[in-house]
Structure 1
Amino acid sequence: MSLRGTREVREDHQIFRLTGLLDAFSEPAFRKVIGNCIEEGPHNIILVLAQIDFIDSSGLGALVQLVKQAQTAGGSLQVVTNPRVTQTVKLVRLEKFLSLQPSVEIALENIKK
């Protein structure tokens, strides 16, 4: 599989640290796994994409769907990113919608607000 990661569940949030490619090949499994975890709760999600080598339109579409799913469940989804992912997200002007964050610590502070 081109995408791998770990999941850390805390009282009020989940952190996913992902590596590899978030593309048309990995997107269906990514969306299903993260979507199921949002349903299980907690509903605040931090996706750490700092080690992602590539994201395409399928990956961006999955992120948009997951943000909406988290918000519907009463939570939030934030993305900790790297320059490559940030550039791709900014090209389609989704940086605010996807709540791009420079670090996990800042994302955690945003949950507590």
Structure 2
Amino acid sequence: MSKSSEALGILAQLVLGGVSVIITAFLLPGVHVDGFLTAVILTALLALLNITVKPILIMLTIPITIVTLGLFLLAINAILILLASEIIGGFYVDGFWWALAFALILSLINSLLGVSLGEKRPTR
């Protein structure tokens, strides 16, 4: 795959991720996104956090993740959403439970749209 087609693929994933964020924010009254550009920036930031911060949080919380049979990973996702809301000015979440709902619904919509930012995609 050439570099330009790879860059276009990443850009397409960012745009689709932005659409997912807009749809999810529309469905949840406790989540506010100022516009599509903010949604695309949020998508890029969440991908970056999932690549860098999430593995560290998972390693630090292995015991509680085992005790909760993996359910604590949902809390880690909500924490990353709250962190992103502190970093990005046009993205607001009204609390932990809204962040948890946002993470769950965003994940569902991303899988329906085929968004795979921050994940290793299989090579063809």
The normalised TM-score by structure 1 is 0.27
| Structure index of larger Rg | 2
Q: Larger RCO: Structure 1 or Structure 2 (Cα < 8 Å, ≥ 6 residues apart)?
A: 2
Higher helix share: 2
TM-score, L = length of structure 2 = 0.26
Whose strand fraction is larger, Structure 1's or Structure 2's? 1
